[in-house]
């Protein structure tokens, strides 16, 4: 990923002038006040209380149990020393909060903005962060949600459908200068399943769906006692047979003649529309991250509905998952 020009949102045009311009000084003062409010000092956030409440029994580097408490950081976070590998560590070592530049407090606001369908551009403006910080933090969320959909099992009335999403302009394949028609290589096929409580959305590949891909996508995620509600897409047949599902199948040609309100597949159509809107909010995103965006969408739209409860789930995951993401690994920093 390219490193974008990173103008700090802390700057004002009057930082180096000793001008007595009252209006300019007033704007500067208010702006900086707000910036400080959005970027509290770690010591003032009481973040250390959360971090120090985490029970630590082993070394974050070598897993040795031969550790001891070893004073505090300047932000009052408990430090530990490992007698085995002779290194110091804290509760954030080895997690996405390691060497974090923005506080856990700021992360709460960041997550709420994302859950409210904010783009990274907008989110960075609202939180007075650089765009890179927002992208960096979004990718931290992505790594936490990598396996979010793995354990989702849809049950009861289960709707499934396929939706298609275009590759980015540069990747469009043409045949003698003309764009390929229909469900070509230029479209990603996304399998979507929904049971009214939870949702799954998985990239099946490019082009048309196949029986094999349908089974691979939905097979593990549908309870065998469910009733499958779907259109007459051929590739669904083997899935129904394999899981011996009860089914309600609709002819897509006839469905097209119905008013949206009368359409029995409305719940799944609605989800597909929302997914498209969500992806379009992050327009121009790297398609290699398509599955990550879908994981995030599914997390946002599955139970629990309450956004603060979702923040809590992610914060818990972040503090307990041993995984880090380095800024320089995400961005190609020139020189």
Residues that bind Zn ion (CB under 5 A): 59, 61-62, 64, 82, 84-85
d(CA 190, CA 298): 13
Instruction: Compute the least distance from the CB of residue 8 to Zn ion, in Å.
Output: 37
- Tell me if 275 sits within 8 A of 188, measured CB to CB: no
Instruction: Compute the least distance from the CB of residue 60 to Zn ion, in Å.
Output: 7
- Between 62 and 317, CB nearer to Zn ion: 62
Instruction: Compute the least distance from the CB of residue 61 to Zn ion, in Å.
Output: 4
- Between 82 and 104, CB nearer to Zn ion: 82
Instruction: Compute the least distance from the CB of residue 65 to Zn ion, in Å.
Output: 10
Instruction: Compute the least distance from the CB of residue 104 to Zn ion, in Å.
Output: 25
Q: Can you say whether residue 40 is alpha, beta or left, with left for phi > 0 and alpha for psi between -120 and 50 degrees?
A: beta
- Tell me if 320 sits within 8 A of 121, measured CB to CB: no
- How many other CB atoms sit within 10 Å of the CB of residue 54? 13
**Residue reference for tokens 């691979």:** 216
Instruction: Compute the least distance from the CB of residue 332 to Zn ion, in Å.
Output: 32
Choose among 105, 107, 76: nearest CA to 90.
76
Q: How far is CA 309 from CA 45, 111, 167, 304, 325, in A?
A: 20, 11, 34, 7, 24
How many helices (H) and strands (E) would you count in the chain?
13, 10
- How many other CB atoms sit within 10 Å of the CB of residue 248? 12
Radius of gyration from C-alpha coordinates of the chain: 24
- Between 82 and 114, CB nearer to Zn ion: 82
Instruction: Compute the least distance from the CB of residue 59 to Zn ion, in Å.
Output: 3
Instruction: Compute the least distance from the CB of residue 53 to Zn ion, in Å.
Output: 22
197 DSSP 8-state letter: S
- Between 59 and 111, CB nearer to Zn ion: 59
Instruction: Compute the least distance from the CB of residue 95 to Zn ion, in Å.
Output: 16
Please give the structure tokens belonging to residue 82: 């490992």
- Between 67 and 192, CB nearer to Zn ion: 67
Q: E strands, the chain, where?
A: 67-72, 78-82, 88-89, 157-166, 174-175, 178-179, 187-194, 199-206, 227-231, 246-250
- Between 59 and 229, CB nearer to Zn ion: 59
Supply φ then ψ for residue 74, to 5 degrees.
-65, -20
- Between 85 and 255, CB nearer to Zn ion: 85
- Between 62 and 152, CB nearer to Zn ion: 62
- Between 61 and 331, CB nearer to Zn ion: 61
101 DSSP 8-state letter: S
**Cis omega (within 30 of 0) for bond into 120:** no
Torsion of CA 207, 279, 111, 78, to 10 degrees: 40
């Amino acid at each position: 990923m390219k490193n974008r020009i990173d103008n700090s949102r802390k700057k004002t045009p009057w930082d180096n002038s000793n001008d007595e311009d009252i209006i300019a000084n007033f704007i500067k003062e208010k702006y900086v006040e707000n910036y400080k409010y959005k970027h509290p000092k770690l010591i003032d956030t009481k973040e250390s209380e959360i971090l120090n409440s985490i029970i630590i029994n082993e070394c974050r580097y070598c897993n040795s149990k031969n550790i001891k408490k070893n004073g505090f950081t300047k932000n009052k976070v408990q430090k530990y020393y490992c007698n085995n590998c002779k290194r110091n560590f804290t509760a954030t070592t080895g997690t996405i909060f390691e060497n974090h530049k923005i506080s856990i407090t700021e992360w709460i606001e960041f997550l709420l903005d994302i859950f409210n369908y904010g783009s990274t551009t907008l989110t960075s403006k609202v939180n007075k962060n650089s765009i890179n910080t927002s992208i960096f933090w979004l990718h931290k969320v992505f790594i936490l949600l990598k396996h979010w959909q793995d354990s989702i099992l849809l049950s009861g009335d289960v709707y499934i459908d396929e939706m298609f999403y275009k590759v980015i302009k540069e990747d469009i394949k043409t045949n003698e200068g003309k764009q390929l028609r229909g469900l070509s290589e230029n479209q990603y096929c996304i399998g979507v399943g929904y049971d009214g409580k939870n949702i799954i959305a998985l990239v099946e590949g490019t082009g048309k769906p196949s029986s094999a891909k349908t089974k691979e996508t939905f097979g593990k995620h549908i309870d065998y006692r469910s009733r499958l509600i779907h259109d007459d897409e051929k590739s669904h047949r083997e899935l129904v047979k394999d899981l011996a599902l009860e089914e309600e199948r609709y002819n897509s040609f006839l469905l097209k003649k119905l008013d949206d309100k009368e359409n029995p597949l409305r719940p799944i159509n609605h989800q597909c529309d929302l997914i498209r809107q969500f992806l379009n909010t992050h327009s121009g995103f790297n398609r290699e991250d398509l599955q990550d965006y879908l994981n995030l969408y599914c997390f946002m739209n599955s139970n629990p509905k309450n956004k603060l409860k979702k923040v809590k789930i992610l914060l818990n995951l972040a503090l307990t998952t041993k995984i880090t993401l380095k800024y320089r690994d995400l961005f190609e920093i020139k020189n």
